[in-house]
Amino acid sequence: MAGPSRTTQRIAVRRYRDGGSERARDAVSIEEPLEIRVRPHAGEGGSVAVTMRTPGEDFALVAGFLLTEGILSDRADLAELTYCRSGTGPQLYNVVEARLHAGVAFDLDRLSRNVFTSSSCGVCGKGSLEALDVSGCRSLPSEGTIRLPSDVLAELPDALRRRQSDFDRTGGLHAAGLADADGHLHVVHEDVGRHNAVDKAIGEAFLAGRLPLHDRALVVSGRTSFEILQKAVAAGVPAVVAVGAPTSLAVDLAERFEVTLAGFTRGGGFNLYAGRERVVEATASAASSHPVASES
């Protein structure tokens, strides 16, 4: 296993160009399994998921996952995050254990997943929209939450792309960031998994005690699925901006929980699927500050 901060690896390749070939070296994104374990204050814990991820920011990933899966609801629930050792052997970076404070309910039988969490699809097989009500999620208020100028919103994916340093080297990573109303990205994380990148971004804010994220927009480099919307709702993020398309269930979820959802955000434009009240359109007065020269 690689150390917790190594994200890319150089490998030998044969490069074919213009009818010829040559030996070369190329960077690829590292993909490794991470087992997530939860231990209550008293009693035995156990494994709740295995995900394929890019090593690095593992504690943020685990914190974000546990929050958005309804295992944690407050920073005070979490006593400690630690890598696990295998006996007396060297430290391995493929198992993280979350230790809970006293009084935090934990039902391993209910939470354990008999599925493999892949880097591409996250935890597959989620039950239904009603599961969000069980975890305490409610509609996000329109007052007191982020309002995004339409021109700022349209530039957010480009701003995210400029922060994707590992993607520049490998071309194989997704990204997620948290932006303010001025378009400044306060948090950016990359990962081979779309859902992992979101968990890392939300998890960092969770560990810093910044939730709910009513003053932030979640920006993602790919499409928007049901689970990405669920994670946003769980973290109190009122706006999700994506380069790609949303799924039908993501749109349903955005409408139900009053989340602003933008897709196909590229080339200076976007499609708005829900939550128009948080998007501030350019005004006629702003347009008049740049008059078009008329022919004489």
If you write DSSP's letter for every residue of 83-100 in order, what string do you get? EEE-TTS-EEEEEEEEEE
**What is d(CA 82, CA 118) in angstroms, rounded to the nearest whole number?**
22
Give the orientation angle of helix 226-234 with respect to helix 58-68, to 10 degrees: 90
Question: Is 121 part of the annotated catalytic residue set?
Answer: yes
Instruction: Tell me the two tokens of residue 97.
Output: 């254990």
**What is d(CA 296, CA 283) in angstroms, rounded to the nearest whole number?**
27
**What is d(CA 118, CA 292) in angstroms, rounded to the nearest whole number?**
52
**What is d(CA 232, CA 254) in angstroms, rounded to the nearest whole number?**
10
Among residues 169, 189, 162, 172, which one has the least CA distance to residue 120? Answer: 172
Instruction: Tell me the two tokens of residue 134.
Output: 């069980």
Q: What is the CA 171 to chain-centroid distance, rounded?
A: 18
Choose, from 84, 121, 124, 137, the residue flagged as catalytic: 121
Q: Which DSSP state fits 282?
A: P
Instruction: Tell me the two tokens of residue 25.
Output: 């070296």
**What is d(CA 135, CA 123) in angstroms, rounded to the nearest whole number?**
16
Instruction: Tell me the two tokens of residue 226.
Output: 């049901």
Active site positions, annotated? 121
